[in-house]
Amino acid sequence: MYFETVRELALRPDTIRAIQVPFTVPESGLIEIGSIIESRVIEMKPGIFQLLYQTGFDKRDLMWCEFGFRETEKPTFEILRADEEVNIPLALTL
């Protein structure tokens, strides 16, 4: 699992699923990021961020996962890329 704070969020060419969501880091600056198999507590600058979750497979057919954070006052929710396992409803609810 990998994350970074960036000026711009960009999709990797090998991304099969990408979802961006609003994300708030509390005043403590501590957040926990996790997947099904592991989680980590990390420290970040408190604030409002656009979180970009991406996943795909590498050349060895191993799944990878990346989290990118961009500080912004107006984050949005959007499914940027979906594979066949993602069923997108007509109306999305946060």
pLDDT in tens, 3-56: 557 788 889 999 999 999 999 999 999 999 877 888 889 888 899 999 999 999
* 56-78-25 Cα angle (round to 5): 90
| CA-to-CA separations, 82 to 4, 27, 79, in angstroms, rounded | 22, 33, 7
pLDDT at 57 over 70: yes
Quote the pLDDT of residue 3.
53
pLDDT at 1 over 60: no
Say what the pTM is: 0.77
